[in-house]
Structure 1
Amino acid sequence: MDKQAVTSADIAAAERVLGIAQTGPERDLLAGALAAQIDLARARRAVPLDERLAPACVFDPRLPGFAPPPAAPLRLPAADAPFPGDDDAAIAFAPARLQAAWVRAGHLTATRLAAICLDRIARLDPAIGAFARLNPAALDEAAALDARAARGDWAGPLHGVPWGCKDLIDTAGLVTDRGAEPFLGRLPEQDAVAVRRLRAAGAVLLGKTTVGALGYGDVWHGGRTRNPWNTEEGASGSSAGSAAAAAAGLCGFALGTETLGSIVAPAARCGAVGLRPSFGRIARTGTMPLCPSLDRLGPLCRDAGDAALILALLNGADPDDPSSLDIPFGGDAGRDPEGLRLGILAADFADPSAEAARAAIEHCRALGVVPVPVELPALPWESLVSLLMAEAAASFEPLTLSGADDLLARQDESAWPNQFRLARFLSAVDHIQLDRLRRRGMMAMRDLLAGVDLLAAPFGVGALPTLAAFTGHPCLCLPVGFTLSPPRPSAGIAADAPANAPARRVPAALCLWGRLFDEAPMLALGHALARRCALDLRPPHGLTGAT
């Protein structure tokens, strides 16, 4: 296109796309200037930018005057139970801290524990699809840890615990293809920082858990990851494999990532405990960049105490992640929650789907927690999602401009390829204004949490989940009951089950939000609430639904 090619008619058509209107004379003035602006954009697009290059503007969730909680040692809930002997299922579903304690006590070897999980994967995962690939060295790594233990040399608090790693977190020598066709066969040379920290703690990598293509949904190039409670529906996304694997007892815990719901959504669907820490707490070096101002890593497991331990092991900055912060993680994650003030958005709990969450609040009352009504300012928080779309489109601009986005199998209206293309039509001015609205949201969350210790809402209801993702606040999602439900859609995909598919008994979740960099009270209440609810969180033997 030459510099005279843009006409007033072109501009008028573009205005309809942007939702604005200008006069004829204004369009004539623009027509003469747009060609130079287009040339500048083309010059920039011609320069390849390494995906690891962070934006110059780095998001910091801390408002002026922020002070982290006083430094304190981390105290975890007790993890003590008799060793179940030959009951492999009981071993598989035990909390990771208990598995590690049994290994350290000599009741169990790392090799046997890894073999139990690998056997479960072989038998159950064909119906779930939680693992994209296994680590061929898993048993060797476990045997090496057993040899160290025989010498009295313990690697760390997760010595011998098998885990699964979301397949957009790099693992040296083990394919990490991000669930997406354009990256098939991608082989990292180095472990991500989080992987190195877990290896140092003694965890045994079983394999790569499935991820919705490029961090979206539960569909990847190998198929769809399914909810172990009802395999006629997806596991939700995008940490679908990590949540499903933890919930089905295929590993001690798994590592996930979240931009907007990718830890908490599959945790809620599958009946796992999902922790999204404060933004910046865990360095993301070696993790696929999707939205630099939103992306976070966090554990998916079966126990809030495990989530606290794993967060402690992962906590800390890295120089190659300019968003990461060195803020100590501590506090009493096993304390009695009596006296905690829990902010409740009444309208969210009035939703018909919130029955289990309402019951959970009554359990909180019985624990001595004080529910306090709070209100979120009625502003268009959902519009912040356009920030996410713009960042994601920038991260994967090479796919869009080269046409390689056509390689992605999923090409419907809500899938990434279309969202990347759609983002090209977002207004830069609107983007800056959305950033200002984001700061307004940070102020709103600060004010909400000024009079309470925590916030609570049923999963998937109201504006709080979206707002808190953009403000950087931590969230804990945990199962608090069950509900009967027919197969449900996830991330724009209908459940691929017959129209008359029966309702199944599936977990129902509650979400808790805490103050920035103050996760311990949230984890303490989560642990106490789980103990009080005392749910049997083992999915049906043989799995329910499709095979």
Structure 2
Amino acid sequence: MENSRRKFLTNTSLGVLAAMTGCHKDTAKTDNALPATSATAPPGAPSAFATSPAAGPEVSAATFAEAEKLVRVELTEAERAEAAGSWRVAMAPLYERRTGPRKVALEETLAPASRWDPRLPGQKEIDLQQRFMRSALAAVPLPAKDEDIAFAPVTQLSQWIEKRQLTSDRLTRIYLDRLGRYNSKLRCVITLTRDLALAQAKQADAEIAAGKYRGPLHGIPWGAKDLLDTAGIATTYGAEPFRNRIPSANAVVVQRLHDAGAVLVAKLSMGALALNDVWFGGQTMNPWLLEEGSSGSSAGPGAATAAGLVGFAIGSETGGSIVSPSMRCGVAGLRPTYGRVARTGAMTLCWSLDKLGPMTRGVEDTMLVLNAISGPDTGDVDSIPSKLDYDAKTPVEGLRVGYFPAWMREATDVDRAALEAVKKIGMVPVEVSIPDWPYDALNMILFSEAAAAFEELTLSGGVDELKMQVPDAWPNIFRQARFLSAVDFVQADRFRRKVAVEMARVLSQVDLLLVPSLRDEMLTITNFTGHPSLTLRAGFVEVSEARSDWAPDPHHPLPKFNPPRRVPHGVTLIGRLFDEGTLGRAGLAMERSFAVDSQRPPGF
């Protein structure tokens, strides 16, 4: 299958290149005549466009005729001739930074000068204060079985550790044992950090015994998506070319969790270069349905958290990589407001879209972790100082919850039951709507930024090492993106602001939104506007066929099930900018109403 697809891509690519760069012997030489430049321009004469030294290969009117198909514009014959005649002195020289002779390397940490700020000019910000008040938990005795301890949420684990009913060392060894026992089923671990974990656990126990309790993450084992740098420990991006990459410093989020006393037990799998759920070690699987992938790209964080192999995990999202595996694996996933959590030391896929957030077994756990990792850093020029206003005791009654009636009609019974739960717990459903616009056009930005981030890997052929070489995988997309129009990129950026204005209008009417988790329009919109989201398990559905992040392949059909299999299903709340506290309060109330969060995947 992969070989046939490779041949298709290769033949197609070669055909397009041949059509675009062919000599076209029947084309007159005059098509490529270059305007003369004067080396003796009079003093004070300004420079003019289209007077640079000729660069690049010759092009013809026929070249432009073929290129028009890629960008979907049409020129007249005269316009093509004029464009071809001056291309080498007008436009081709603009590529000199990359093609030479004066090449300029761009450091991996160098961000674009253009920045995305989710806060719109003139938009009134909601009144937030810095406040963090977790819910009061009834005392629960420590279970006798290790597996019952392993599946407990952080809210409960932290209580046992603080009261010294459970040591970090014991909890860490429980998770290390489970990681070793179940990883062969799930393929969710890239690097087990046993030595570091045991050392951190020992330190945590000593500090707690001495009365130096750092807070609710102290002594709690966690797993990091393998795009977060860890000093002296491989950080591979899940991709073959980076298997031996060992950074010298911790990512800011890793350091903040170290400072909170958390214990790093594993670098968890991710779809190669943050796409889907296949990495160089194979496909990460869903603990609830081992015949299907976990979804991605935060594949390992979703699978390991759902299977009780870590206390919590950190994932990342550019276009759905926290929401989708949280939905499929039945965990709680919080995608923070763009800019809230500094990304210094994390792999860049898209500068204006990447976000880091927690994946846990309970809604309040996400808030505990977010409180520890929030804040700006000078290494991330897009990070923004913000407040986290969360008080679990503040009532949710009266909160206005927007929903889209047509989407709910097309969704599952679980989604519709979630809307009923909104009413049951005293929140107020409000119908909202958005224009019928081509929101997928925003992916012009995603593809362009991703191709730029991995330009060197693509042009050097390094992407050819990736396991997935199919039309919807990064290697092909990165190559295709070279032919996206820069003009259309700017127009997509303007469209992005128009969409952000529309979202501001919608969220001025309500306090939050309830949406089907994988509804493409809202998943795309909110990733580009930067609004926060919280995905939580709301119930169960039955599936008769395995689900996949990849485009359908008729040569490799997905497994079918008769009778259908029972799997978790999540819903997603969308919040106002930097209002994760309201998401947490509403999500916690809904989680308690659903009462399905304690169910576990069979066999784990």
| Structure number with bigger Rg | 2
Check the 8 A contact 1:93/1:538 in 2, yes or no. no
Once residues 11 and 357 of structure 1 are traced to their aligned partners in structure 2, the CA distance between those partners, rounded to angstroms, is 50
Check the 8 A contact 1:132/1:210 in 2, yes or no. yes
Shift of 1:4: 6.7
SS in 1 for 2:118: coil
Shift of 1:505: 0.6
Once residues 244 and 413 of structure 1 are traced to their aligned partners in structure 2, the CA distance between those partners, rounded to angstroms, is 26
Once residues 83 and 445 of structure 1 are traced to their aligned partners in structure 2, the CA distance between those partners, rounded to angstroms, is 46
> Which structure 2 residues correspond to residues 12-23 of structure 1 after superposition, within 5 A?
12-23=65-76
> Which structure 2 residues correspond to residues 440-479 of structure 1 after superposition, within 5 A?
440-479=498-537
Match of 1:146 in 2: 205
For 1:261, the aligned partner's letter is G
Q: Does 2:586 match 1:532?
A: no
> Which structure 2 residues correspond to residues 225-240 of structure 1 after superposition, within 5 A?
225-240=284-299
SS in 2 for 1:371: strand
Check the 8 A contact 2:142/2:160 in 1, yes or no. no
User: CA separation of 1:9/1:301 partners in 2, compared to 1, >3 Å: closer, same or farther?
Assistant: same
SS in 1 for 2:245: coil
For 2:81, the aligned partner's letter is D
User: CA separation of 1:526/1:354 partners in 2, compared to 1, >3 Å: closer, same or farther?
Assistant: same
Check the 8 A contact 1:232/1:496 in 2, yes or no. no
Q: Does 2:117 match 1:64?
A: no
Match of 2:58 in 1: 5
Once residues 360 and 283 of structure 1 are traced to their aligned partners in structure 2, the CA distance between those partners, rounded to angstroms, is 32
Q: Which TM-score applies when normalising by structure 2?
A: 0.87
Match of 1:292 in 2: 351
User: CA separation of 1:372/1:108 partners in 2, compared to 1, >3 Å: closer, same or farther?
Assistant: same
Quote the RMSD (CA, aligned, Å): 1.6
For 1:109, the aligned partner's letter is T
Check the 8 A contact 1:343/1:455 in 2, yes or no. yes
Once residues 262 and 79 of structure 1 are traced to their aligned partners in structure 2, the CA distance between those partners, rounded to angstroms, is 31
1:348-380 Cα offsets, whole Å, 9 max, x none, are 1111x4210100111111001110000011111
1:440-478 Cα offsets, whole Å, 9 max, x none, are 110011000111100111111251111011000000011
SS in 2 for 1:512: strand
Shift of 1:493: 6.4
Match of 2:34 in 1: none
SS in 1 for 2:104: coil
SS in 2 for 1:488: coil
Shift of 1:503: 2.4
Once residues 496 and 131 of structure 1 are traced to their aligned partners in structure 2, the CA distance between those partners, rounded to angstroms, is 27
> Which structure 2 residues correspond to residues 281-430 of structure 1 after superposition, within 5 A?
281-351=340-410, 353-430=411-488
Aligned equivalent of 2:97, options 22, 43, 51: 43
Shift of 1:537: 4.2
Structure 1: runs of 5+ lacking an equivalent: none
For 1:519, the aligned partner's letter is E
Q: Does 2:324 match 1:265?
A: yes
Shift of 1:501: 6.4
SS in 2 for 1:306: helix
User: CA separation of 1:210/1:415 partners in 2, compared to 1, >3 Å: closer, same or farther?
Assistant: same
Task: Select between 379-388 and 274-283 the one with higher mean Cα deviation.
Answer: 379-388
Shift of 1:84: 2.8
Shift of 1:232: 0.4
For 1:49, the aligned partner's letter is L
Match of 1:506 in 2: 567
Match of 2:14 in 1: none
Shift of 1:33: 2.1
Shift of 1:490: 1.5
Match of 1:106 in 2: 164
Once residues 424 and 311 of structure 1 are traced to their aligned partners in structure 2, the CA distance between those partners, rounded to angstroms, is 37
Once residues 365 and 465 of structure 2 are traced to their aligned partners in structure 1, the CA distance between those partners, rounded to angstroms, is 39
Higher relative contact order (CA 8 A, sep 6+): 1
Once residues 87 and 115 of structure 1 are traced to their aligned partners in structure 2, the CA distance between those partners, rounded to angstroms, is 14
1:141-182 Cα offsets, whole Å, 9 max, x none, are 211211222222223331110000000110111100100011
User: CA separation of 1:321/1:3 partners in 2, compared to 1, >3 Å: closer, same or farther?
Assistant: closer
1:230-259 Cα offsets, whole Å, 9 max, x none, are 010000000010011111111110000100
User: CA separation of 1:295/1:60 partners in 2, compared to 1, >3 Å: closer, same or farther?
Assistant: same
Aligned equivalent of 2:244, options 182, 185, 192: 185
Once residues 334 and 268 of structure 1 are traced to their aligned partners in structure 2, the CA distance between those partners, rounded to angstroms, is 27
Check the 8 A contact 1:69/1:517 in 2, yes or no. no
For 1:62, the aligned partner's letter is R
SS in 1 for 2:348: coil
Q: Does 2:136 match 1:78?
A: yes
Q: Which TM-score applies when normalising by structure 1?
A: 0.96
Q: Which runs of 4+ in 1 moved over 6 A?
A: 493-496
For 1:41, the aligned partner's letter is Y
Task: Select between 68-77 and 27-36 the one with higher mean Cα deviation.
Answer: 68-77
Check the 8 A contact 1:228/1:539 in 2, yes or no. no
Shift of 1:91: 1.2
Check the 8 A contact 1:95/1:252 in 2, yes or no. yes
Once residues 319 and 11 of structure 1 are traced to their aligned partners in structure 2, the CA distance between those partners, rounded to angstroms, is 44
